[in-house]
């Protein structure tokens, strides 16, 4: 990640959150969705997730049943043991991590279960999906800790 970008994204995010909210509510959704894949690709040319890992440190993905099955199998654990060891049910009755940072995050910011990670982790930060535009509350929350979300939002605002 370019050092300048790393230093400035967090303050820009805080400064721009209201502007982002207004923008996401007024944007031409169809046009934005069409250009998201290009902006996603552009953002990840600038950003190396291994230098950040804020998502793994501050956020818990939802663990769907197929995620639990796949991950527990790779760890040679029974599904129920995996749930009891790592997960809790949240207010929406979704399975989420018991603790943060993610217990599978290694010191070098690599993921111990990367090849079998939950689908939420695989898709995060949703910058190439319609969810990015259709669920502005989620996008704004993700903007608070993910530099890629900010890069995509700023580029969208430039393009309009």
Cα 136 to Cα 142: distance, rounded to the nearest angstrom? 10
Q: What is the pLDDT of residues 61-119, one digit of tens each?
A: 999 999 999 999 999 999 999 999 999 999 999 999 999 999 999 999 999 999 999 99
pTM exceeding 0.85 = yes
pLDDT band at 16 (very low <50, low <70, confident <90, very high): confident
| More confidently predicted of 61 and 6 | 61
Domain regions of the chain by residue span: 3-56+126-159, 61-123
3-class secondary-structure state, position 109:
coil
Contacts 24+ apart (CB under 8 A), 18-22: 19/157, 20/139, 20/140, 20/143, 20/153, 20/157, 21/136, 21/140
């Amino acid at each position: 990640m370019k050092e300048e970008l790393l230093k400035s994204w967090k303050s820009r995010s805080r400064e721009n959150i209201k502007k982002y909210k207004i923008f996401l509510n007024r944007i031409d959704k169809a046009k934005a969705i069409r250009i998201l894949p290009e902006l996603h690709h552009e953002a990840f040319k600038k950003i190396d997730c291994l230098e950040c890992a804020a998502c793994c440190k501050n956020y818990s993905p939802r663990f769907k049943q197929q995620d639990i099955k796949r991950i527990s199998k790779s760890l040679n654990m029974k599904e129920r043991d995996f749930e009891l060891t790592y997960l809790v049910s949240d207010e929406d009755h979704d399975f989420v991590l018991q603790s943060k940072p993610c217990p599978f995050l290694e010191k070098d910011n690599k993921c111990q279960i990367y090849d079998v990670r939950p689908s939420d982790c695989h898709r995060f930060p949703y910058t190439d999906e319609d969810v990015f535009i259709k669920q502005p509350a989620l996008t704004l929350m993700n903007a608070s800790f993910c530099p890629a979300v900010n890069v995509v939002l700023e580029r969208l605002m430039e393009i309009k």
